[in-house]
Amino acid sequence: MSILAQDTPTLIFYAILLTMAAGVAWIAGVFRWRAADGPDRVLPGQSMWGLVAAGGSGFLVWIFAQAAYAVLRSPVGLSAQTQPTAEFPFRPRDIAILSTAPFLIAFVFTLLADRGIGGRGIFGQLGLRPKRLPMGIGAGLIGCLIVLPLVFTAGAILEPIYDHLRYVHPSEHELLRAMGEAPPRIRVLLAFGAIFCAPIWEELLFRGHLQTIIRQSLLRLSFPSPPMPRGFPISVAAAEPAAPPDAPAAHGTPALVAGVAIDPGVASPETEPVRDIVQGIPNRLADPIPFADRGPETGVWQTWVAIVLTSAIFALVHPLWMSPLIFVLALGLGYAYERTGSLWTSITIHAVFNGLETVLFLYVLHGPHA
């Protein structure tokens, strides 16, 4: 039933929900124009083909793993008692395996590909450093107070549109339907796939790779940067003469490293050791690195274009009737990733959303003993 057809207490509930979301967003500074202009995750002069190769190959591994299992579990040869129906081609156990194993295999493969192509620093560039996990979870929980009320309210508003168009859609995602029909052990595996496996893989692929590639491509077209010297990051050539060894760099005085302004007096939680930078500058390179030639300009519109395009693609890979809601969710995930520079933030929001959907379906719609 739509929000427009609800009784007064329900309408008040949604109004309170949206007011809370708006208040948290205001306090968090979401409405500031520059807030979406997040850190750049590809070093100046660094090729993005590594990200393309890692993400693309990971996606193919994910598809292949699902297809391989589907072929192995073909209904041919099954007994009549175990034969899946045409309406539901896989049994709950099959859905449970498909919602866990391919996601984990693709996630691990993509991480290894990133590590092999981009080195140890790639995890900092993508916002996946383990030490940032607590901050990412905290920021993600705050983000949930903003994003999830918008998604749930949009879902309530969408129903009258479907009714007006006479569009009949399933009442739940096939994963949730499998949960409703599965025994307790299979339900645990299905919930694990929905709450853990799907968020970490989908965020790594869509926000960590696709959104990063689109955004960095737009930024490079808008703010061309000089190429890095060969051999980076083992050795970085200085753009200015190095200071004497006994002369420490002045606090707050930016130094140029390969054309990139680095303030030695500002510490970043994301740092990566780099040898032979410039004498007098701490032997740490802030990670991610701001683009060199942006000047007073910002990359806000480039960021939002990347967020919107990635969200549209992310929504289209989901069932059509869910696409509008997934698009709203993805906008929040993309913004959270850019705002915090941490993939743990968007993973947390995604996991909480899937968790709430699972709990609501199992214990509200189907009851605790269904």
**pLDDT at site 363:** 64
For residue 45, the model assigns a pLDDT of 75
Q: Would residue 277 count as lying in a domain?
A: yes
Last residue of a domain, one of 236, 271, 290: 290
- Supply φ then ψ for residue 54, to 5 degrees: -65, -50
Chain CA centroid to CA 295, Å: 28
Residue 370 falls inside a structural domain: no
| Domains contained in the chain, number | 2
Looking at the fold, whether 157 and 243 belong to one and the same domain comes out as no
- Residue in the block written with tokens 């993508």: 126
Let me know whether 199 and 261 are in one domain. no
- One-letter amino acid at 315 equals A
- Among 244, 266, 290, the domain-final residue is 290
- Is 342 within a domain? yes
What pLDDT is recorded for position 53? 95
Residue 341, in any domain of the structure: yes
Q: Tens-of-pLDDT digits for all 370 residues of the chain? A: 445 445 677 788 888 999 999 999 999 999 887 888 878 888 777 888 999 999 999 999 999 999 998 888 765 434 434 444 444 467 778 888 888 999 999 999 999 999 998 888 888 889 999 999 999 999 999 999 999 999 999 988 888 888 888 877 666 666 666 666 667 788 888 889 989 999 999 999 999 999 999 999 998 888 775 544 433 343 333 334 444 545 444 444 444 433 344 444 444 444 333 333 223 323 233 344 444 445 555 788 999 999 999 999 999 998 888 899 999 999 999 999 999 999 999 999 999 999 998 887 766 555 544 3
Of 162, 82, 97, the C-alpha closest to 323 is 162
State the pLDDT at residue 173: 64
**347 and 329 in a common domain:** yes
What sign does the CA torsion over 146, 132, 208, 99 have?
Answer: negative
Domain check: are 144 and 118 in the same one? yes
The closest alpha carbon to 279, from 246, 302, 254, belongs to: 246
Residues 235 and 304 in one domain: no
pLDDT tens digits for range 239-286 = 344 445 454 444 444 444 333 444 444 444 443 333 332 233 232 333
What is each CA distance from 173 to 4, 66, 209, 357, in whole angstroms? Answer: 24, 18, 26, 10
| Residue for token pair 């034969």 | 83
Same domain, 24 and 97: yes
Q: What global pTM score does this model have?
A: 0.76
280 domain residue, yes or no = yes
- The whole-number pLDDT of residue 171 equals 62
**Terminal Cα-to-Cα distance of the chain (whole angstroms):** 22
Picking from 290, 309, 328, the residue at the C-terminal end of a domain is: 290
303/202 same-domain check: yes
**Residues of the domain holding 17:** 3-223+298-365
pLDDT at 35: 85
Asked if 56 and 127 sit in the same domain, the reply is yes
87, 196: one domain: yes
Residue 283 resides in a domain: yes
Q: Phi/psi of residue 318, each to 5°?
A: -100, 165
Q: Are residues 248 and 203 in the same domain?
A: no
Angstrom distance (rounded) from CA 370 to CA 93: 17
197 and 177 in a single domain? The answer is: yes
d(CA 314, CA 316): 6
Same domain? 17 vs 115:
yes
In a domain, 103, yes or no: yes
What is the predicted pLDDT for the residue at 272? 38
Interacting residues of 102 by C-beta distance below 8 A, sequence separation 6+: 62, 65, 66, 69
